Amino acid sequence: MKTRIYLLLVFCAMLVLSSCKSDQGNEKTSITENTGTAVNTERQGQAFIKDDESRPTVLDIAIGSEDHTTLVAAVQAAELENALVNAGPLMVFAPTNEAFAALPEGTVEDLLKPENKQKLAYILKHHVTPGKYDKEFLKKFKKLGQASDQSVEVTVEGEDVYIGGSRILGSVEAGNGIVHVVDKVILPEN
């Protein structure tokens, strides 16, 4: 008898908890198709869950930076937000807006088109490496393997460290890794 009451209480508690669940962690948008009807799309995953207690992720740091609005737009267009909030540790080499602006005219706009989503994602993955190494420790490397399955050369000139030809301007630690701000977009070989 006690077991049945206990199971009934557990079941009721589960019902109450599931009915109280909020949509705080999801981003919803309404898109109107050519037919004039609204279609609900929902971006889900851990990148869309907000809390006030965790240390900022590499994605949070990029979002909070005025110098990385182009990078954030690219991450969103490639739908890589959830990858950048994983437990990591991740090293993200984050090109500034100026770095993107230095690309040939029209490059960024072309990459942000939906039909180029895979290409954009590949380029962005070329800016991510597993690990959490500061600039001094990176001086010990000759190459770094990127999430794009390619490697980039690490060079040191005086106190400056270059990753794939891009100079590290500064670094910010994150809850799931480190963001190294860089002055150029690191393009894959192919």
Percent pLDDT > 70 in the chain is 71
Residue 3 has pLDDT above 60, yes or no: no
Domain 55-182 sits in CATH at 2.30.180.10
| Annotated domain spans of the chain | 55-182
Question: Is the pTM higher than 0.85?
Answer: no
Condensed to tens digits (0 to 9), the pLDDT of residues 130-176 reads 999 999 999 999 999 888 889 999 999 999 999 999 999 999 999 99
Nearest to 62 by CA among 71, 54, 53: 71
Bridge partners of residue 168, in order along the sequence: 182
Contact 146, 125 (CB under 8 A): yes
- For the chain, how many helices (H) and strands (E)? 7, 9
**Dist. CA 94–CA 61, nearest whole Å:** 10
Confidence of residue 53 (pLDDT cuts 50, 70, 90): low
Confidence of residue 50 (pLDDT cuts 50, 70, 90): low
Average pLDDT in the chain: 79
**Dist. CA 112–CA 69, nearest whole Å:** 13
**Dist. CA 124–CA 132, nearest whole Å:** 18
